[in-house]
């Protein structure tokens, strides 16, 4: 839904947005969601201008994301039987704090679903999960060029810390 220059009056647009958010559900990933998750991950990678190789992903997700050990969590945002977003996170230990925290690996909503309050809802659910699992905080990163996400995270009350992220291939 276009944000600017839309022909509907503001009150009517806000009503449509509110109804869309109310009809959406945040829930754990299911086996039947994997093809839609693949589509969302491809869109997420394109949004961040990153390469994404879909080969073997569904099989790997079946093995890791759907495992019953609870080590990795993946939740999806469903709207009218279609997935419009996802978040994945893991519980990790901080040596400095000597406590657990959640690491948010991915948070993505498709472009038509942004600005509806769904991002805030899923972040709150993850925060509630962390609290229930004795975590002290949630940590994540976002590309520095993603100014919309940075504003969103700051509006949540999150603080940023500048660090460089490194990748070291062990294959």
Instruction: Return the domain boundaries, the chain.
Output: 26-156
Q: In the chain, which residue ranges form alpha helices assigned H by DSSP?
A: 10-22, 34-47, 57-64, 118-132, 147-156
Predicted TM-score of the model (pTM): 0.84
- pLDDT, position 21: 60
pLDDT of residue 7: 52
Output the pLDDT for position 23.
84
pLDDT digit string (tens) for 100-138?
999 999 999 999 999 999 999 999 999 999 999 999 999
Mean pLDDT for 47-60 is 96
Q: For residue 18, is pLDDT > 80? A: no
* Mean pLDDT (whole number) for 14-34: 76
CATH number, span 26-156: 3.40.630.30
Give residue for tokens 């991915």.
106
Pairs from 67-71 (Cβ < 8 Å, separation ≥ 24): none
Per-residue pLDDT tens for 72-103?
999 999 999 999 999 999 999 999 999 999 99
For residue range 135-161, what is the model confidence (pLDDT) as tens digits?
Answer: 999 999 999 999 999 999 999 999 999
Contact 142, 158 (CB under 8 A): no
- What do you get for the CA distance between the two ends of the chain, in Å? 43
Q: What are the phi and psi torsion angles at 84 (to 5°)?
A: -120, 0
| Joined tokens for residue 81 | 């039987």
pLDDT for the residue 22: 60
Average pLDDT for the chain = 89
- Token pair listed for 1: 């839904």
């Amino acid at each position: 839904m276009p944000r600017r220059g839309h022909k509907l009056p503001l009150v009517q647009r806000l009503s449509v947005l509110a109804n869309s958010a109310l009809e959406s559900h945040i829930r754990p990933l299911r086996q039947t969601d994997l093809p839609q998750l693949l589509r969302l991950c491809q869109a997420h990678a394109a949004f961040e201008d990153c390469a994404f190789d879909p080969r073997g992903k569904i099989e790997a997700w079946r093995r890791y994301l759907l495992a019953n050990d609870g080590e990795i969590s993946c939740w999806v945002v469903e709207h009218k039987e279609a997935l419009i977003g996802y978040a994945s996170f893991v519980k990790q230990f901080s040596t400095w704090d000597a406590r657990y925290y959640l690491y948010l690996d991915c948070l993505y909503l498709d472009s038509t679903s942004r600005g509806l309050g769904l991002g805030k809802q899923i972040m709150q659910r993850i925060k509630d999960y962390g609290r229930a699992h004795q975590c002290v905080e949630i940590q994540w990163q976002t590309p520095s060029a993603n100014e919309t996400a940075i504003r969103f995270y700051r509006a949540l009350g999150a603080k940023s810390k500048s660090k460089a992220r490194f990748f070291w291939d062990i294959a």
